[in-house]
Structure 1
Amino acid sequence: MTTINPEEILVKLLGELQEIADDGSHSFDTLQQSARACSMTLDNLRGYLTTHAFPAPDLEIFFFKHIKPSVEGRLLFFLKLFDLLGQLPLYNEDEGKAFWQQKIQEVERYIFQFGEIWHYFNAHADHLDLHYFTRPTATPISGVSSLRQLTDPGFETPQSHNFACITASRMLIDYCSRQLGRSDPALPFTFTWTGSAQALTEVIYGFNEMQVLDGKRHEIAKVKAFFERVFNFPMSNIYKNWEHIRLRKKAELRFSTKPSWHSANARIMMTSMHSAKLLR
């Protein structure tokens, strides 16, 4: 029997959400569908933890820092947006702008209340991950997060829920900002990556090798963080993903008599593999 890992569960959810509201706009009906999909995905993640153990701390950290907050944060976002649309008044253009600006200010005040955790999130820091995103053996009662750990100890860490709240808040700010600029034809689109982590790994290494980001190569971790934010897609060990891709490509070339040089992806991959070999 094939086991679906947490990353695949998240990718499946993102694909479902894309189908429910392809253009990013929402009605009460699509919000209910989206919230239901997120809730079911959280149940799937909880079920995964009941039958699987993390073989290493970094995998547990990745789950509670990225996977679970991505799902729970979206659920919170859809529920909050459902409530927000219920408050939406009948207004003219000026009143509409004032409404969305007020909501942005309210969310910003809320998000800044997280203080150090907000800065930790925004800076993509990792020096306290072992404390923030692994489940403690004993939980002192000191606030809402501790109560959540007591009621569902296998599905909470000290900061996983706070990261979900911050994720939801940022999504809500983005949504409100789009409402303010909806009539602007230059408004950029937002997309969510629904492909595999290995496919995005190839894209990241390919872009970096072609030196099309500020005209130079960068540290892969920096490019990875950029693409994660652009595509709302957290990634775990990109270096391990790349090593698997590199070995697979070498095996394909070894057994192929006529490699296709007409594929742009193949050219990017060959160039990236050559660069990786030089840097090893």
Structure 2
Amino acid sequence: MEKKLLTKELLNELESIKSTTLDIIKQADLSIVLCRNLLSKFKRKVLANGFETPTLEIEFFKDTKQVPLTNLIYYSELRSFEAQFPKGNKTVQKQAILKKIKKLNRFFMVNMDFNQYIEQGRMYLDDRYFTRAFFNKFNVTTSKYYYRDPDFSTSHDLLLAKLWANKRLIKYLEERLKSLNKRNGKKVNGVLKGLKWTSSKAALVELIYALNHSRSINNGHIELKEIVSRFQEIFDFDLKDFYKTYSEIKARKKSRTKFLDELSEGLLFRMNKEDF
């Protein structure tokens, strides 16, 4: 029960990171640390207490351990992909995404039998796949890290985690490709592309927070993060950690609404000029 509570806490923390950190690499870094910490905690408990029955051991390696292990693999792969993702050229970016998807699909082809075993909810080999007694009975190489602790691993727990992580990664890449195709088509959600934000990052954050607070978009029935995401797409502008930028805006000693003040003053100046 305690291990399940710890996995639930991890999922909540990962979701919190995802909702407050737009920078993918930073999000991955924070998530990787949390997953590693929980796996280390699990390992100490398993080595100290073991399992009362084979059923509990299977449950741990097939389900409980999968939560931090799958997320660790997913965010590690995600970080590696984004860190190496080509800049600028959309054609090259599209090729990079397709190449990664092709590599992941090869993984599923190689492990097709095990994938079907899992997807069809079979259990008749669980005692062999997910207990440590059979750790050396299968020749499974699922990682570039060939050494795994036989006291904290089974023959297939890492392979299962890679299956879940890679399925999730393919979905991410498909969304990445879809977004890229929309940009290449000069439209994002029906909005014409070609617009560039040429003022400062702080100015855009100031504007977004003002629109959000005034409930000017969807009558306020929209998350701040979603507004930020849409503005980033429309203006092809990366706001990264906009929460930090907002904190810096609030800490200003002079006007905390500098950009909005300039907008108001500029519009009033134009109106007054046109009156003459």
Bin for the TM-score computed over the shorter chain: 0.5 to 0.7
Which of 28, 32, 35 lines up with 1:31 in the alignment?
A: 28
User: TM-score under structure 1 normalisation?
Assistant: 0.57
Contact 1:70 1:167 in 2 (8 A): no
Change (3 A) 1:28 1:46: same
**Paired position in structure 1 for 2:169:** 172
Q: Distance in 2 between matches of 1:24 and 1:125?
A: 38
**Paired position in structure 2 for 1:51:** 48
**Paired position in structure 1 for 2:62:** 65
**Paired position in structure 1 for 2:133:** 136
Q: What aligned pairs does 1:239-254 form with structure 2 within 5 A after superposition?
A: none
Q: Distance in 2 between matches of 1:63 and 1:171?
A: 21
Q: Distance in 2 between matches of 1:113 and 1:25?
A: 34
Change (3 A) 1:24 1:162: farther
Match of 2:102, SS state, is helix
Q: How many residues align?
A: 182
Deviation at 1:139, TM superposition (A): 3.3
Deviation at 1:53, TM superposition (A): 3.1
Q: What aligned pairs does 1:1-16 form with structure 2 within 5 A after superposition?
A: 5-16=2-13
Q: One-letter code of the match for 1:57? A: P
Q: One-letter code of the match for 2:84? A: Q
Unaligned 5+ segments in structure 1 are: 186-280
Change (3 A) 1:90 1:96: same
Q: One-letter code of the match for 2:104? A: V
Deviation at 1:137, TM superposition (A): 6.9
Q: Does 2:113 align with 1:100?
A: no
* Bigger mean CA deviation after superposition, 74-83 or 148-157: 148-157
Contact 1:134 1:157 in 2 (8 A): yes
Q: Distance in 2 between matches of 1:80 and 1:180?
A: 17
Deviation at 1:25, TM superposition (A): 5.5
Match of 2:133, SS state, is coil
**Paired position in structure 1 for 2:267:** none
Change (3 A) 1:13 1:113: same
Match of 2:107, SS state, is helix
**Paired position in structure 2 for 1:113:** 110
Deviation at 1:156, TM superposition (A): 0.8
Match of 2:151, SS state, is helix
**Paired position in structure 2 for 1:89:** 86
Unaligned 5+ segments in structure 2 are: 183-187, 190-276
Q: One-letter code of the match for 1:83? A: S
Task: Give the structure with higher Rg (CA).
Answer: 2
Deviation at 1:12, TM superposition (A): 1.0
CA shift digits 1:127-168 (9 cap, x unpaired): 1111111111773584547xx898512211111111011122
Q: Distance in 2 between matches of 1:84 and 1:124?
A: 31
Q: Does 2:186 align with 1:156?
A: no
Change (3 A) 1:134 1:101: same
Contact 1:77 1:168 in 2 (8 A): yes
**Paired position in structure 2 for 1:19:** 16
User: TM-score under structure 2 normalisation?
Assistant: 0.58
Identity of paired residues, percent?
A: 24
Q: Distance in 1 between matches of 2:114 and 2:98?
A: 25
CA shift digits 1:37-92 (9 cap, x unpaired): 11001001111212323222222111111121231121111111111012211245
Deviation at 1:111, TM superposition (A): 2.3
Q: Distance in 1 between matches of 2:62 and 2:128?
A: 11
Aligned Cα root-mean-square deviation (Å): 2.9
Q: One-letter code of the match for 2:62? A: K
